[in-house]
Amino acid sequence: QSALTQPRSVSGSPGQSVTISCTGTSSDVGAYNHASWYQQHPGKAPKLIIYDVIKRPSGVPDRFSGSKSGNTASLTISGLQAEDEADYYCSSYAGSYTWMFGGGTKLTVL
Amino acid sequence: QLQLQESGPGLVKPSETLSLTCTVSGGSISSSNFHWGWIRQPPGKGLEWIGSIYYSGSTYYNPSLKSRVTISVDTSKNQFSLKLSSVTAADTAVYYCARHRAHCSAGSCYWFDPWGQGTLVTVSS
C-alpha cells in the first residue's frame, strides 16, 4: 500500500492560482468520490479543507476547491495569499477499511 | 466545539511498547457515525494512517502495522488509546488522534476532522 503521489512542491505569486495533484489507482482515488485534502502549517496539526472531493467545511474560504478525474484528485487554490503557504496532503479510502495519504506538497507563496 | 488531546510518554526505548491516549472533549466518543483514529508523521515526512476504532470496540488497522498495533476505547472516560509494540527508531514520529468518518453517512465519508495537536514520540535508548 504505497502513498498517493503528490508533487513535492509547487509555488505561485499572491493572487495567482495553483493546482496540486494527487494520483492514485483505480482501487483508491479512482474508485471512490471521497478524496479529502488537509492543510498543515509548520508545527501545527493538519486541518481538513476539502472532503468528498469537492466539499468545503464551514469556515474554509471558497478560494479552495477540489476536483477529480479518473485516478487523480486535485486541489486548486485561487487568489493565493501569504497565509496559504503550507504543506498539503490528500487522502483516500483504499478499500478493505484502510486509508492512505499522499506524500505531501509544499506550497510556497513567492 | 469538539477537541482532542494526545497524552503519553515522549521517549520510548527500542523494543518496548509505545502507549498513547487521546482524550475527547466537547462531545461524546460514543457518537454514532464516527470512528476515532490515530495518524503519525515522522519528522520531515508525510502522514501515515495507523488505525481507527468505533465506540463499540470495532477496529480497523493499517496492514503494515497491524501485527504491532492495538487500539482500545474507554467510553466512561471519553478516551481511546494506542499501543504500538516492539518499537524501533523508525517509529519516531508525531502521533495525532482525530475523529474519523470511516463509514458513509448522508453521502459523506472517509475524512479526518478535527485533529489533536499531536505529540512527539522519540524512540531511543
pLDDT at residue number A3: 87
| Beta strands B119-123 and B11-12, pairing class | parallel
Is residue B20 within 8 Å of residue B123, measured between CB atoms? no
Residue pLDDT, tens place only, A17-58? 999 999 999 999 999 999 999 999 999 999 999 999 999 999
pLDDT at residue number A2: 75
Q: Mean pLDDT score of chain B, rounded to an integer?
A: 97
3-state secondary structure of B91: helix
Question: To the nearest whole percent, how much of chain A has pLDDT over 90?
Answer: 97
What's the whole-number mean pLDDT along residues A64-78?
98
Say if residue A101's pLDDT is above 80.
yes
Say if residue A13's pLDDT is above 90.
yes
Query: Which amino acid, one-letter code, is at B100?
Result: H
- CA B28 vs. chain centroid, Å, equals 16
Of residues B19, B7, B6, the one with CA closest to residue B87: B19
Q: How far is A1 from chain B (nearest CA, A)?
A: 8
Look at A97 and B116 and tell me if their CB atoms are within 8 Å: no
User: Across-strand partners of B84?
Assistant: B18, B69
What's the whole-number mean pLDDT along residues B63-84?
97
pLDDT at residue number A90: 98
Residues of A in contact with B109 (CB under 8 A): 34, 52, 93
pLDDT at residue number A1: 63
Say if residue B91's pLDDT is above 80.
yes
Could you check whether the bond before residue B63 is cis, i.e. omega within 30 degrees of 0? no
Identify the H or E element spanning B49. strand B48-53
Look at A100 and B49 and tell me if their CB atoms are within 8 Å: yes
What is the C-alpha R_g of chain A?
A: 13
Closest B-chain CA to A97: B60
pLDDT at residue number B32: 86
Q: Mean pLDDT score of chain A, rounded to an integer?
A: 96
Chain A contact for B34 (CB, 8 A cutoff): no
Say if residue B42's pLDDT is above 70.
yes
Chain B contact for A97 (CB, 8 A cutoff): yes
How confident is residue B44, by pLDDT bands cut at 50, 70 and 90?
Answer: very high
What's the whole-number mean pLDDT along residues B3-30?
97
Closest B-chain CA to A54: B108
**Grid cell in block for residue B52:** 481507527
